[in-house]
Structure 1
Amino acid sequence: MTCLHMSLNKMVFFICVLFIILSVGVLCKPYFSSSNYRISCIDILHSIVYKDRPECEGCTKSWSWMQSSPVAKCAFKKFEKPDASVMLNRSWVVFAGDSQTRLGMLSMLKLVEEPERVRIVKEHLKKLHTDYSTNIDSIGMKLDFKWKPYARRLTKLMLEFKKNEKYPDIIVMGAGLWDMLYETNASDYDVSLRSLRNSLQDLNSKDGKVPHLFWLAMPKLISSKMTPEEKRHKLTEPRRSMYDNKVNASKILNKFGGPLLKLDIHYLSELCGPQCTKDGVHYDDVVYDIAVQIMLNAVLIESTHKPPF
């Protein structure tokens, strides 16, 4: 990523930051001087509203950030394809996890690829439990999806990155639904998360690059819409809450001193409402589109507030 490969050329990085600020308009100069700017804006990235919430499945839904004073000062931006292409130029982005994370990857793909290509990929991956990788040649971007539905498999992937001393610019990971459905032991999930947290320590590649790390949380679960019976019994909101508490207790999230910034799919899906899901687990594209927009804004905030020298 031009704006994230800080070790390649410090001057290029500095110029790129200025270009992004001026052309995309995500951050406003008057707020750069505030020492609390980065933290406060990161904290309110999820301050969104759905402009319309038609009570029907499949209806088009639009959204925006709230217009309160704190949110307005952060000047969050909805990235369109031109802006996203500049932001993600020469980047390597990895989504790793279950089907929720795959939906996040598809939302990212929509920002940089042609619609027909996205449709084909979406249909191809819909029923498959497999990895996916593509290169967006026009911007030199590599986008990967790693099928790692269990938390313990995420640890193995991070250790592979660490062994090679080469990391993506952005890593979005998330797991829990399969742990709930097939492993059924919350204590084992807790152990896996703590192991994952340990594997994320000291992520420094040979070129000095440190990846931006995100955790894609589990969605609002609506058991009444699920089939078969096993899902309705095991994928419940009380159990999701218990597993989510394990994520918090592991201190893997930035909020608790860990390395991962949470993309709160539960909040975004609950706010969208039950009409936004057909099966009680997977939600309409807009939920994951918002998560990707939050992620990109977070990356820009983090990048522009890390010393370039």
Structure 2
Amino acid sequence: MLGPVQLGLLAACVVLFVPMGMAGWHLSRNKVLFFGGALFITLAVVVHLTPYFPSVFDFVTSVSSSSSISVNVVVDGRDSCVSLLHEIDWEVKPSRVFDPSNNNSMNYEKVWSWRRYSSADSCEFQKLKRHDIMDLLNGSWVMVAGDSQARIFALSLLSLVLDSERLEYVRGSLFKRHSNYHIVFDEMGMKLDFIWAPYTTNLTNLVMDFEQNRVYPDLLVMGSGLWHMLHITNASDYGDSLRLLRSSLTSLLPISSDFSTNGQVIGSVSVRSPHLFWLAMPTLVNSMLNTPEKREKMTNSMCGEYERGLHDSNMLRQFGGLLQLVDIGSLSWSCGTRCTEDGMHYDGVVYEAGVHIMLNALLIESHQKL
């Protein structure tokens, strides 16, 4: 009794040699055409015989599987790219109009870029242009809440989408002392709010208001700590306030018992989970701080305790939390003392780098590529 392999070979011989013989009889004067027809028929026979030969079939399957795995590795690599977002190098050099008698930060030009010849290269991070940012944030409600660092961060984001004339007008309004700010971009359907919230308790109250009103921003950027360090100076209390904020944020996200599994609020409208970012405190240069009280309380050791309080609170995503870090601390440290006037507030280029880190993180989260 003939097995499947023998039957396959017999069928191959019929399929291969009969057409070739007929082709040879008709096309004997055209060797190129004859060879092309023979090659086509041979390939067709090989394809049909492959399932009858396990070793060949397994080889083809393995090649196909290898291709699929490589694609999955690229997709899964998006998560690893998030961890490389802060791999940034700085070039700080004297400006063309350098004034040696006035050695302040304005005397230096600062240029930043993602580190080349490293793992970050494969992630293809980029400084987004105005139209790219408008596409990314189109129709979004963006909220930045916190202290003066958050205010400068909000201005840096606005500087990437506004022309210079409108930016100057916004700068004057945005930097009114201890005030909130609201702006609407009709051309992109986006609105931005800055909320003055210097203490973590202010941020917690803000989140609780979201939960009560069932209204949530699409993008929420928060940061606090400087005022607490200066006026309360208690790292343990700061850590406790962060844990309370984390608890409030957990209930804010549409994954609680008040929400169904498809993202619908029971008896209400659909809700999207907001994108959450945390602005870390900048690197403080104690000798440059502009008051004796700041130099006494905002020491390097105290900064270290506050940083540990943030890590131990499990607020950040790398420690099992909900917020993606925008590490102004590492960015300001890398830029150095020539990027700050008062040892606390850094030049806009530092916050601009933070904004681009956030925007690239949004692209990764939304699986987009410009």
Query: Structure 2-normalised TM-score?
Result: 0.71
In the alignment, residue 295 of structure 1 is paired with which amino acid?
M
The alignment status of 1:289 with 2:348, answered yes or no, reads no
Partner of 1:236: 299
Residue-by-residue CA offset, 1:1-47 (whole Å, 9 max, x unaligned): xxxxxxxxxxxxxxxxxxxxxxxxxxxxx866535312210000001
Select which of 153, 162, 166 maps to 2:202.
153
8 Å CA contact 1:220–1:237 kept in 2: the answer is no
Partner of 2:161: 112
8 Å CA contact 1:113–1:136 kept in 2: the answer is no
Partner secondary structure for residue 145 of structure 1: strand
Select which of 211, 223, 227 maps to 2:286.
223
8 Å CA contact 1:53–1:272 kept in 2: the answer is no
Alignment of 1:1-309 (within 5 A): 34=74, 36-54=76-94, 57-58=105-106, 59-126=108-175, 128-202=177-251, 203-204=253-254, 206-304=269-367
Residue-by-residue CA offset, 1:166-202 (whole Å, 9 max, x unaligned): 2111111000000001122222211110000001114
CA-based RMSD of the aligned residues comes to 1.7
Alpha-carbon separation, structure 2, partners of 1:184 and 1:236: 10
User: 1:252 deviation in Å?
Assistant: 0.5
Alpha-carbon separation, structure 2, partners of 1:81 and 1:114: 10
Alpha-carbon separation, structure 2, partners of 1:124 and 1:302: 32
Alpha-carbon separation, structure 2, partners of 1:223 and 1:174: 20
Could you say which structure has the larger radius of gyration?
2
Higher RCO structure (Cα 8 Å, ≥6 apart) = 1
Partner of 1:19: none
The unaligned stretches of length 5 or more in structure 2 are 1-69, 95-102, 255-264
User: 1:227 deviation in Å?
Assistant: 1.9
In the alignment, residue 221 of structure 1 is paired with which amino acid?
L
Distance 1:31 1:282, change over 3 A: farther
In the alignment, residue 342 of structure 2 is paired with which amino acid?
D
The unaligned stretches of length 5 or more in structure 1 are 1-29
User: 1:91 deviation in Å?
Assistant: 0.8
Alpha-carbon separation, structure 2, partners of 1:179 and 1:77: 35
Partner secondary structure for residue 156 of structure 1: helix
Among the aligned pairs, what percent are the same residue? 46
Alpha-carbon separation, structure 2, partners of 1:33 and 1:40: 10
User: 1:104 deviation in Å?
Assistant: 0.5
Distance 1:185 1:78, change over 3 A: same
Alpha-carbon separation, structure 2, partners of 1:195 and 1:107: 29
Query: Structure 1-normalised TM-score?
Result: 0.85
In the alignment, residue 47 of structure 1 is paired with which amino acid?
E
Alpha-carbon separation, structure 1, partners of 2:302 and 2:173: 31
Partner of 2:97: none
8 Å CA contact 2:326–2:354 kept in 1: the answer is yes
Partner of 2:27: none
